[in-house]
Amino acid sequence: MPRKRKQINIALIGQGFMGRTHSNAWTQVTRFFDPPIRPVLHTACGRSEKALRAFAKRWGWANVSTDWKQLVASDEIDLVDILTPNHVHAPMAEAALKAGKHVLCEKPLAGTLDDARRMVQAARRANGRTFVCFNYRRCPAVALAHQLVRKGKLGEIRHVRAWYLQDWADESVPLMWRFDKKHAGSGAHGDLNAHIVDMTRFVTGEEITEISGAIAETFIKQRKRMTGAAGGGIAAGATSAKKTGKVTVDDTVLFLARFSGGAVASFEAARQATGHKNSNGWEINGTKGALRFDFERMNELEYYDATVPPATQGWSTILATESDHPYVGAWWPPGHIVGYEHGFTHQAYDVLRALAGRKPTVPQPDFADAYQTQRILAAALKAAKDKKPVKVSTVK
Ligand SMILES: NC(=O)c1ccc[n+]([C@@H]2O[C@H](COP(=O)([O-])OP(=O)(O)OC[C@H]3O[C@@H](n4cnc5c(N)ncnc54)[C@H](O)[C@@H]3O)[C@@H](O)[C@H]2O)c1
């Protein structure tokens, strides 16, 4: 049974890209917010002790470990933060939940629907709380969109179009775990569509019920094998050998969808969309108004109010930095914008609130919620493979 107390000891597993964002968040959260529980950076865990020691020194972790099994069972740990490739989310989360810990897990919940289901079942049996890192929910502009939809500003939602476009995956990038089905489950799909499926479910408050017109494509089918470890960014520091190996995941997945309230939708995830670094966005059109967001301009939420007289209708740009916008009052004066890392700090704050029995600023996905997103991802891959529409209710 997790202890109820004023501070919690955290074990982080995986000191790569997400290892840095989460370490920063656990450190920053008490500087800018007053969470009811303080996080203690107890142990950082990974595979290379030498790299871990340098990581722990930089980010303030008190201990290091290369044995995650022993670590998640330790009496000293209260929350396990899982930041490893997707294939080990399930065994790590199951072991941590069995040992009575709270678990925060990176997205996608897992590489496969089977793993994701096991994780939900483990969460049901456990006393610990579960959280999944869909960090874009915690951009102030996205959280504001969620609140505006709840206030009825869009009316009935008719159209959702969502895109997550990056361009880092050219031929020079070696065969890292992200291109290997065994480790990742899928490519751009689980990596990027997972975020926009979650965000559009979160903003609309509706569920996706059917997928059709899905296309999955892999443009680069062989990549040079990787030597050593990448670390700190998506492909930062990755070096390659002469030998090549097979890419077993998609580079892009597109699909159409229906939402429970009647809206129709399109989704596109791509890693070779030249010109787009991290264009993670959506536009939602309703009968009373519309909203638009793109992470490359993450402080802005665009709003069209169709209820004002036609003479003054037009898109307006809300700079989501006012003190009454979600989260941002804790940071800087209005107009002094926030960045990528802030979403992770907001998540840390809401996790700590939830553990103290308080409401998060905006709803937070647990394993059961993230499993819904995983079902939609699985349905889209099935629709692409069978070249037929798939009802999400048939994918369990
Ligand atoms: N929320 C987001 O926007 C976002 C962004 C990037 C990645 N992610 C997710 O975060 C997770 C990690 O991605 P990343 O980009 O940080 O990867 P990464 O390759 O940069 O880091 C992975 C880390 O896990 C460690 N690791 C791998 N297997 C391990 C094992 N068996 N035991 C202990 N440590 C192990 C590696 O040593 C490395 O430190 C993935 O699930 C990914 O989908 C989320």
CATH number at residue 49: 3.40.50.720
| 3 state DSSP class of 367 | helix
Residue 350 maps to a domain: no
Pair (254, 296) in one structural domain: yes
Residue 280 maps to a domain: yes
Facing residues of 269 across strands?
A: 164, 253
Residue 296 maps to a domain: yes
* pLDDT tens per residue across span 240-268: 778 999 999 999 999 999 999 999 999 99
Q: In terms of DSSP bridges, do strands 79-82 and 102-106 run parallel, antiparallel, or are they unpaired?
A: parallel
Instruction: Give the chain's residues under pLDDT 70.
Output: 1-5, 229-232, 236-237
Residue 292 maps to a domain: yes
Residue 393 maps to a domain: no
Ligand 1: list residues with CB < 6 Å: 13-19, 45-47, 68, 83-86, 88, 106-107, 133, 135, 191, 230-231
| CA 383–ligand 1 middle distance (angstroms) | 28
Residue whose C-alpha is closest to residue 282's, from 201, 369, 338, 205: 201
299, with CB counted inside 10 A (0-12, 13-18, 19+), is: buried
pTM here? 0.97
Q: In terms of DSSP bridges, do strands 289-294 and 279-286 run parallel, antiparallel, or are they unpaired?
A: antiparallel
Q: What is the dihedral of CA 366, 280, 90, 365, to 10 degrees?
A: 0
Pair (116, 66) in one structural domain: yes
Supply the residue whose CA is at minimum distance from atom 29 of ligand 1.
84
Q: Indicate which atom in ligand 1 lies nearest the CA of residue 133.
A: 1
| CA 11–ligand 1 middle distance (angstroms) | 14
Q: Which range marks the domain in which residue 305 is found?
A: 137-338+371-385
User: Of the candidates 133, 161, 183, which is a domain's last residue?
Assistant: 133
Q: Which two tokens stand for residue 391?
A: 């009802």
Question: Distance between CA 144 and CA 203 in Å, rounded?
Answer: 9
Distances (CA, A) of 252 to 165, 225, 255, 294, 335: 9, 21, 10, 19, 36
DSSP string, 32-59: H---SSEEEEEEEE-S-HHHHHHHHHHH
Question: Distance between CA 81 and CA 66 in Å, rounded?
Answer: 15
Contact 106, 262 (CB under 8 A): no
| CA 395–ligand 1 middle distance (angstroms) | 27
| CA 22–ligand 1 middle distance (angstroms) | 11
Beta-carbon count within 10 A of 156 CB: 11
Question: Distance between CA 14 and CA 302 in Å, rounded?
Answer: 36
Residue 329 maps to a domain: yes
* pLDDT tens per residue across span 354-375: 999 999 999 999 999 999 999 9
Pair (79, 129) in one structural domain: yes
| CA 18–ligand 1 middle distance (angstroms) | 6
Question: Distance between CA 129 and CA 100 in Å, rounded?
Answer: 9
Q: Indicate which atom in ligand 1 lies nearest the CA of residue 89.
A: 41
Question: Phi/psi at 233 (nearest 5 deg)?
Answer: -145, -170
Supply the residue whose CA is at minimum distance from atom 20 of ligand 1.
16
| CA 275–ligand 1 middle distance (angstroms) | 25
| 3 state DSSP class of 247 | coil
Question: Distance between CA 367 and CA 373 in Å, rounded?
Answer: 10
Question: What pLDDT is stored for residue 242 in this prediction?
Answer: 82
Pair (102, 144) in one structural domain: no
Q: Which two tokens stand for residue 295?
A: 């992470």
Looking from the CA of 112 toward its CB, the CA atoms found within 13 Å total 11
Q: How far is CA 261 from the centre of its chain?
A: 24
| CA 47–ligand 1 middle distance (angstroms) | 12
Supply the residue whose CA is at minimum distance from atom 40 of ligand 1.
85
Residue 353 maps to a domain: no
- What is the edge-to-edge ordering of all strands in the sheet holding 264-270? 315-319, 300-305, 289-294, 279-286, 157-165, 264-270, 252-259, 208-217, 390-391
Q: Indicate which atom in ligand 1 lies nearest the CA of residue 48.
A: 37
Hey, which of 13, 15, 17, 226 would you mutate to test ligand 1's pocket, going by the most ligand atoms within 8 Å of its Cβ?
A: 17
Pair (22, 64) in one structural domain: yes
Supply the residue whose CA is at minimum distance from atom 25 of ligand 1.
14
Residue 351 maps to a domain: no
Domain count for the chain: 2
Pair (86, 173) in one structural domain: no
CATH of the domain at 265: 3.30.360.10
Supply the residue whose CA is at minimum distance from atom 36 of ligand 1.
14
Question: What pLDDT is stored for residue 228 in this prediction?
Answer: 72
Helix ranges (H only) for the chain are 17-32, 49-59, 68-73, 89-98, 113-125, 140-150, 181-184, 188, 194-204, 340-355, 367-386
Question: Phi/psi at 350 (nearest 5 deg)?
Answer: -70, -35
Question: What pLDDT is stored for residue 278 in this prediction?
Answer: 98
